[in-house]
Amino acid sequence: MLHTAESINRLGTESAFDVLAQAQKLAAQGKDIINLGIGQPDFRTPDHIVEAGIKALRDGHHGYTPANGIPALREAVAADLGKRHNVSVNPDNVVVVPGGKPTMFFAVLMFGEPGAEIMYPNPGFPIYESVINYSGATPVPIALKEENGFAFDAEAVLAQITPATRLIIINSPANPTGGVTPKEEIDRLVAGLADHPHVAILSDEIYSQMLYDGREHVSLLQYPEIRDRLIMLDGWSKTYAMTGWRLGYAVWPDALVDHAVRLCINDHSCVNAASQYAGLAALTGPQDAVHEMVAAFDQRRQIIVSELNRIPGFRCADAAGAFYAFPNIEGTGLTARQAQDKFLNEAGVATIAGTSFGAWGEGYIRFSYAASIDSIQEAIRRIRECL
């Protein structure tokens, strides 16, 4: 009988991958499946980025790189953040990792242990709660509510801070809700954090370029008063349609950056060189493809939100950012999980139950609208029919 560590049983998962496997199995049996489950752009990585990755391999970039990323890439990240958010970032504080997830894992491992509390959005990206549980810390949900446009309420967050709180995770624009937290609320949170200097912040800004209706992204980097305890996560996966390249980064504060690099060395040594050169081309090359993708998402968003609101029993809030719609489905009489199963098995449409993103997601399901307009319209038609 093998004796695994007890902690491994506390690790959760991201159900989007399970639904993807289920959908692929049904498709292999000949069923026509429309996949609005997994959260990844349906576009190809732009050609000039692919070419830069190929060229790096041809040029012989086959070996290890520095654990925190090649210097040119970290400098390009700092320049990009300067341009987009009007902030000054030292490339030495940038740590390049294989995707968005490693930064979450590292931040939670750095602060989480039994007796510690870590706050996280709920419904939110499922990996936050999973790794908090894994670390042994107590997960303290920040409830995100439809009536607030799924933005967090700064007063409510501040009221939950205790002497044991070590880290607060926030995510805007948000997965799974598409919610964007307004600047006033972020201002209030940052002002209140002055009374709690023992609390660090992980701001997951992976959807920082996907906001609609003229909204502008507010980066937590824009608040100098918390820079010494802020971890800001962003990356290439969503912005440049590069989910499979496994490339992301975070800006770490001086006090934590060496710990982060040590975690990289212990975990993965470095990101593969070709992806890093591709990421460099993404940041320094033309941004037209990004603007085109965001414009396409915006068009689909308007269609899906209005169509979802026309399904009896559905009520869909405005999706202000990212590429997700998160309708309330209580009026159908189905639980979130029943709806997910019914839509997949009877309508051939893959969606994700809101409860996959935490207990506060009951009554909701997530649609990723990173799919063609035709397939979105067909998916909605089939769901209406099966209901």
Residues that bind ligand PLP (CB under 6 A): 39, 99-101, 125, 171, 175, 204, 206, 235, 237, 243, 248
The residue among 120 and 343 lying less far from ligand PLP, judged by its C-beta, is: 120
The residue among 65 and 203 lying less far from ligand PLP, judged by its C-beta, is: 203
Q: Give the pair of three-digit tokens for residue 114.
A: 């039994």
- Minimum CB–partner distance for residue 98 and ligand PLP (Å): 8
- Minimum CB–partner distance for residue 243 and ligand PLP (Å): 5
Please name which of 321, 325, 333, 322 lies closest in space to residue 309, comparing C-alpha atoms.
325
The Cα 319–Cα 296 span in angstroms is 14
The Cα 123–Cα 148 span in angstroms is 13
- Minimum CB–partner distance for residue 199 and ligand PLP (Å): 20
Edge-to-edge strands of the sheet including 365-368? Answer: 324-325, 365-368, 352-353
The residue among 52 and 202 lying less far from ligand PLP, judged by its C-beta, is: 202
The Cα 62–Cα 108 span in angstroms is 31
The Cα 80–Cα 245 span in angstroms is 20
The residue among 251 and 347 lying less far from ligand PLP, judged by its C-beta, is: 251
Please name which of 100, 75, 357, 107 lies closest in space to residue 242, comparing C-alpha atoms.
100
- Minimum CB–partner distance for residue 60 and ligand PLP (Å): 27
Please name which of 11, 13, 23, 17 lies closest in space to residue 39, comparing C-alpha atoms.
17
- Minimum CB–partner distance for residue 174 and ligand PLP (Å): 7
Q: Give the pair of three-digit tokens for residue 361.
A: 């997601």
Query: What's the distance, CA 222 to chain centroid?
Result: 20
Query: Would you say the C-alpha torsion 367, 369, 370, 375 has a positive or negative sign?
Result: positive
- Minimum CB–partner distance for residue 201 and ligand PLP (Å): 15
- Minimum CB–partner distance for residue 173 and ligand PLP (Å): 9
H or E segment to which residue 217 belongs: none
The residue among 173 and 327 lying less far from ligand PLP, judged by its C-beta, is: 173
The residue among 39 and 112 lying less far from ligand PLP, judged by its C-beta, is: 39
The residue among 37 and 235 lying less far from ligand PLP, judged by its C-beta, is: 235
